[in-house]
Copies of this chain bind each other. A is one copy, B any other.
Amino acid sequence: MLFFEARRTRLSGTATPSPLNLYQLRRTCSTCSLSELCLPMGLESGDMQRLEELVALRGPVNEGDHLFRVGDPLRVLYAVRGGFFKSYLVEANGREQVLGFHLPGELIGLDAIWPEQHQCNAVALNTASVCELPYAGLSDLGRQVPGLQHSMLRLLSKELALSHSLAGDYSAEERVAGFLLSLSSRMKARGHSETHLTLAMSRRDIANYLRLATETVSRVFSRFEQDGLVSVDRREVMLRDLEKLGQIGRCFTVG
C-alpha cells in the first residue's frame, strides 16, 4: 500500500495524463479514471480504500489469454483495466456463442455468482490488464458497505436489461446500427471519440454476437457506407451520421 500511496501522490499533479501513465494512475481505484463507471461508482473515499485493499492487479493479459473458462470455480470477478475482452460459450453442437464484449471499467464474470462456477469463457481480444476482485471478500465488504452491495446488484441488473434488449427479433441493420451506437457511447463515456471507433473484434465475432452471419455484417457495413452513414476501413469505423444510425438502430445502450 505504501507503494501505491507514493505513486498516487507523485502522479496527482500531472495535467493531461498520457496513455503511458494511465496505467499507473489506474493502480488504485481512487486514482483510476474508470472509477465512476466501474464497481466503486458512487462510493465515498473511505469505502473505496477498503475496496482497494481487496483488489489485485493482474499484469499484461495477452491476446487470446483466457481469464476463466466454463466450469472454473468462481474465485474472483474481473474488472477490465485496459484492453478488450469477449465472453462466449461453446454449445453442445460445438458452435461458439459470443455473449458480450467488455471495455475498460466493465465487470466480467457476474453470471458465475450462481452457482459459484463460471458459466462462460472470457478471452482477451488484445493486450489487456485487469483488476481481480476476490468474490468472498467482495461479498463480505458488500455487507458492510451499502453502496457496494447496491453497486453489484446494479451491474447485474444492468447486464440483464442489456441481454433483454439483445434478445429481441431485430433486422440485421437494426442490430449492426445498435452495436455501433452502443460501442460509440461506451467509448465516449471512457473519454474516447464517439465517432471514430477502432474495433477490437473480428467481423466473425461481431456477427456471432449479433446472431448474424459474417457475410451479413459485412454487407450491412457496405450498405451503411454507400448511404453515407459510416466510413469503414478494415477495423477503423467512422460514424458519419449518428442521427440516422440512431433512427435505424435498436438501442442496445444501457447506461
Q: Which residues of A contact B (CB under 8 A)?
A: 89, 91, 97, 99, 110-115, 119-120, 139, 142-144, 146, 149-150, 152-161, 163-164, 166-169, 211, 250, 255
Contact check, B111 vs A161: say whether CB atoms are below 8 A apart. Answer: yes
Question: For A115, what are the chain B residues with a Cβ–Cβ distance below 8 Å?
Answer: 154
A87 to chain B, nearest CB (A): 9
A40 to chain B, nearest CB (A): 16
* Contact for A112 among B99, B157, B169, CB less than 8 A: B157
The secondary structure that dominates the A interface is helix
A132 to chain B, nearest CB (A): 18
A71 to chain B, nearest CB (A): 13
Q: Which residue of B lies closest to A158 (CB)?
A: B114
* Contact for A153 among B97, B156, B255, CB less than 8 A: B156
Contact check, B211 vs A157: say whether CB atoms are below 8 A apart. Answer: no
Question: For A154, what are the chain B residues with a Cβ–Cβ distance below 8 Å?
Answer: 113-115
Contact check, B99 vs A157: say whether CB atoms are below 8 A apart. Answer: no
* Contact for A163 among B89, B120, B155, B163, CB less than 8 A: B163
* Contact for A164 among B113, B114, B144, B163, CB less than 8 A: B163
Contact check, B157 vs A150: say whether CB atoms are below 8 A apart. Answer: no
Q: Which residue of B lies closest to A167 (CB)?
A: B167
The docked-state distance in angstroms from the alpha carbon of A119 to that of B160 is 10
